[in-house]
Amino acid sequence: MTMPVLLLTDALILLLLAGVVGYFYFVSRRPQMRATWMRVTESPSGMAALVVLFAYLVVGLLDSVHYRPVLEAKDPKAATVYSVEVLSLLDVLASPLRERQERTYSAPFDTRAYSKETIEIPGTDGAPGKQVREFPRLQFGGVHLALESERDRDILVTALRGFSLAFALWLALAALLSAVLARGSAISSSETMRRIWRGETRVPWSAVLIMLGLLLAIGGPVITLCTRYHVLGTDKVGQDVMYLALKSIRTGLVIGTLTTLVLLPLAVVAGVTAGYFRGWVDDVVQYVYTTLNSIPGVLLIAASVLLMQVYIDTHPDLFPTSVQRADLRLLFLCIILGLTSWTGLARLLRGEVLKLREFEYVQAAQAFGVGHSRIISRHILPNVMHVVLISLVLDFSGLVLAEAVLSYVGVGVDPSMTSFGTMINAARLEMGREPMVWWSLAAAFVFMFVLVLAANLFADSVRDAFDPRIRVRGPAMQKG
C-alpha cells in the first residue's frame, strides 16, 4: 500500500485537464467551432508540433501523480510508516535513472568519472597496496561491460535494438491509424496508407507519422541505452541529467498552463466589463491595468516572490514535506505570474468588446430588453473566446521561457525543484570548468527548445485557424 499525495498543483492540473476535455466536448457539439478546430488539424506543422507537445504532456502528467511509498518495516506487526519522500509515477518508471546515482560529473556515455580520484589498489601477494590518481570507473554507467573497449560496439548494438523495437512500434501504429481511418469508408486500409503518404488526407497524417517516427527513432534507442549508460551524463552530485531534464518538463508545463488559470478569469472579467459597460467601470479597469503595467514585471514578480519566501521561511511548520513546500512556491509563482500578466489579454478583450457591443446583433438583443448578463454571456463572450484562446496558446511559450529567466534571477521555482531554469543556472558555473561540462546545459537547451518551438508552431496554427489577422504579441517582454 502506498499513500497517494495530491499536491496543490496536481489538483489544479487535473482541474485544467478536465476543463480542456470539457471544452473539446463543447466544441465537438458546435459545428462552427468544430470546423475552426478542424482547420488547426489541417496544418502539418501544427499537427507535428502537437505530437511533440503530447509527448511532453504525457511525461508531465506521469510526473503529476504523486504518492509516498511505504517504508519497509522491520517488524511486520508495526503500523505502516510512509516515507517522507514523495514520488511520482514518472519517478517509478524512471527509477533506473533516478536510482543509479554516481558520485559526481560524468560525460554522456562515459564509463569513467569526470575528475581524477585517488584510488587504492590493493597489493597483491602481500605487497603493499598503492594509491593511484586516475579516473575511476563509474558505479553504474557502463558497469556491465567486461572490457571498456567494447563500449562503442555495445552502444551501437543496444541502440539498434531500441531502434528496431521503436520501428516495429511505429509500423504497428501506422497500420493501426490507417485501419482506423479506413473504418467506415469504402477505402481499404492499404489504400488509406497510400493516401496518407501522398498527402491526400485532409488531416496531414503523414506529418504526424513522420514526427512520431522521429520521436520514436530517438526515444527507442535512448530508452534501451539509458538503463546501461548515462545518456546525457551526470551532474555535480552524480544525478542522471536525463532524469533532471524529464523532471523539468512538469515544472515548465505547470508554469505555462496553471498561470492561465489565474490570468483567465481576471482578464476576462476586467476586459469584458470594461469594454461592455464603458464609463466609470472602464476608467477603473484601465487605471488598474495601467498601474500594474507600469511596475516593471520582473521586479513585481521578484518582490512578490521574495515576500512569499519570507512567509514560507517564517512558517516552516505549514509544510510537511519539502516537495510540498516547493510545490506551494511553484503555485505561488504561477499566481504571481498570472496577476502580473493578465493586463495584456484584458486590454485586448476590452478593445474587442468595445467593437462587438456596437454590433447590430447586440443592439437587436437590447431592443428585446435582454439583460446585460445575458447579452454578455450569449453575444459577447462566445465571440471573444478566440482572442482568449489565441492569447493563451501564445502565452504558453513565453511563460516557459520566463521561468528560466526568473529562476536564474533567483525568484523562480524553489531551488530544490528541478526546472529548466535551475538546470541552466547550475550549468552556467560548470561552463567555466576545464574540460567543460556542457551536457547539462545542452540537455536543458534541447528539451526546452523543442518544447517552446512546438508550442510556438502549434500556437501559430491555432492563430491562423481562428483569426489570421489578430496580433497578440509584441516583441517578447524584456524580462532582463
Q: Which 372-411 residues touch other proteins, going by CB under 8 A?
A: 374, 378-379, 382-383, 397, 401, 404-405, 408-411
Does position 280 interact with other proteins (CB under 8 A)? The reply is: no
Task: Phi first, then psi: give them for residue 176, nearest 5 degrees.
Answer: -60, -45
**Interface residues for other proteins in 22-81 (CB under 8 A)?**
30-32
Selected binder of other proteins within 291, 320, 429, 433 (CB under 8 A): 291
- Shortest gap between Cβ of 226 and other proteins (angstroms)? 24
- Shortest gap between Cβ of 367 and other proteins (angstroms)? 5
Exposure class string for 251-265: b at 16+ Cβ within 10 A, else e: bbbbbbbbbbbbbbe
Cβ proximity to other proteins, 45 vs 324, nearer residue: 45
Q: For the window 238-277, what string marks contact with other proteins as x by the rule CB under 8 A?
A: ----------------------------------------
Does position 476 interact with other proteins (CB under 8 A)? The reply is: yes
DSSP string, 318-373: G-SSHHHHHHHHHHHHHHHHHHHHHHHHHHHHHHHHHHHTTSHHHHHHHHTT--HH
- Shortest gap between Cβ of 292 and other proteins (angstroms)? 8
- Shortest gap between Cβ of 7 and other proteins (angstroms)? 24
Instruction: Tell the residue number behind the cell numbers 493563451, with chain if given.
Output: 392
Cβ proximity to other proteins, 124 vs 478, nearer residue: 478
Cβ proximity to other proteins, 38 vs 92, nearer residue: 38
Instruction: Tell the residue number behind the cell numbers 536510482, with chain if given.
Output: 99
Cβ proximity to other proteins, 4 vs 480, nearer residue: 480
Does position 325 interact with other proteins (CB under 8 A)? The reply is: no
Q: How many residues bind other proteins, per CB under 8 A?
A: 73
Cβ proximity to other proteins, 187 vs 450, nearer residue: 450
The Cα 327–Cα 88 span in angstroms is: 13
Selected binder of other proteins within 48, 258, 353, 448 (CB under 8 A): 448
C-beta separation of 440 from 241 below 8 A: yes
* Alpha helices for 69-204 (secondary structure H): 89-93, 95-99, 151-182, 189-198
Cβ proximity to other proteins, 66 vs 463, nearer residue: 463
Cβ proximity to other proteins, 67 vs 466, nearer residue: 466
Selected binder of other proteins within 71, 306, 318, 429 (CB under 8 A): 306
Task: Phi first, then psi: give them for residue 289, nearest 5 degrees.
Answer: -75, -25
168, 192, 215, 216 from 173: Cα distances, Å: 9, 14, 13, 11
C-beta separation of 186 from 210 below 8 A: no
- Shortest gap between Cβ of 209 and other proteins (angstroms)? 21
Burial class (CB in 10 A: 0-12, 13-18, 19+), 286: middle
106, 304, 340, 359 from 307: Cα distances, Å: 38, 5, 15, 46
The Cα 435–Cα 337 span in angstroms is: 38
- Shortest gap between Cβ of 480 and other proteins (angstroms)? 3
- Shortest gap between Cβ of 97 and other proteins (angstroms)? 24
Instruction: Tell the residue number behind the cell numbers 562515459, with chain if given.
Output: 110
- Shortest gap between Cβ of 362 and other proteins (angstroms)? 8
Cβ proximity to other proteins, 130 vs 374, nearer residue: 374
Q: Which stretch binds other proteins (CB under 8 A): 52-60, 229-237, 256-264, 291-299?
A: 291-299
The Cα 355–Cα 350 span in angstroms is: 9
Does position 339 interact with other proteins (CB under 8 A)? The reply is: no
